[in-house]
A and B are shown apart, each in its own frame.
Chain A
Amino acid sequence: AQSVTQLDSQVPVFEEAPVELRCNYSSSVSVYLFWYVQYPNQGLQLLLKYLSGSTLVKGINGFEAEFNKSQTSFHLRKPSVHISDTAEYFCAVTATGGGNKLTFGTGTQLKVEL
Chain B
Amino acid sequence: AAGVIQSPRHLIKEKRETATLKCYPIPRHDTVYWYQQGPGQDPQFLISFYEKMQSDKGSIPDRFSAQQFSDYHSELNMSSLELGDSALYFCASSLGGYSGNTIYFGEGSWLTVV
Residues of A within 8 A of B (CB): 32, 36, 42-46, 49, 51, 90, 94-107
Which B residues lie within 8 Å of A46 (CB)?
Answer: 102-104
Does A99 contact B56, Cβ atoms closer than 8 Å? Answer: yes
Which B residues lie within 8 Å of A36 (CB)?
Answer: 105
Q: Knowing A43-B106, A44-B90, say if A100 contacts B100 (CB, 8 Å).
A: yes
Picked from A95, A96, A104, the residue with its CB within 8 Å of the CB of B43 is A104
Which A residues lie within 8 Å of B102 (CB)?
Answer: 46, 49
Which B residues lie within 8 Å of A107 (CB)?
Answer: 42
Which A residues lie within 8 Å of B94 (CB)?
Answer: 100
Closest-by-CB residue of A relative to B108 is A43
Picked from B41, B48, B106, the residue with its CB within 8 Å of the CB of A101 is B48
Does B42 contact A100, Cβ atoms closer than 8 Å? Answer: no
Does B104 contact A100, Cβ atoms closer than 8 Å? Answer: no
Give 17 new A-B contacts, CB below 8 A, not counting A44-B90, A103-B45.
Answer: A32-B100, A43-B90, A43-B105, A43-B106, A45-B105, A94-B100, A96-B99, A99-B56, A99-B99, A100-B31, A100-B101, A101-B33, A101-B48, A102-B43, A104-B44, A105-B42, A106-B41
The distance in angstroms between the C-alpha atoms of A30 and B45, with both chains bound, is: 20
Q: How far is the CB of A32 from chain B (nearest CB, A)?
A: 5
Which B residues lie within 8 Å of A94 (CB)?
Answer: 99-100
Closest-by-CB residue of B relative to A4 is B42
Which B residues lie within 8 Å of A100 (CB)?
Answer: 31, 33, 48, 56, 94, 97-101, 103
Does A99 contact B42, Cβ atoms closer than 8 Å? Answer: no
Does B100 contact A99, Cβ atoms closer than 8 Å? Answer: no
Which B residues lie within 8 Å of A42 (CB)?
Answer: 107-108
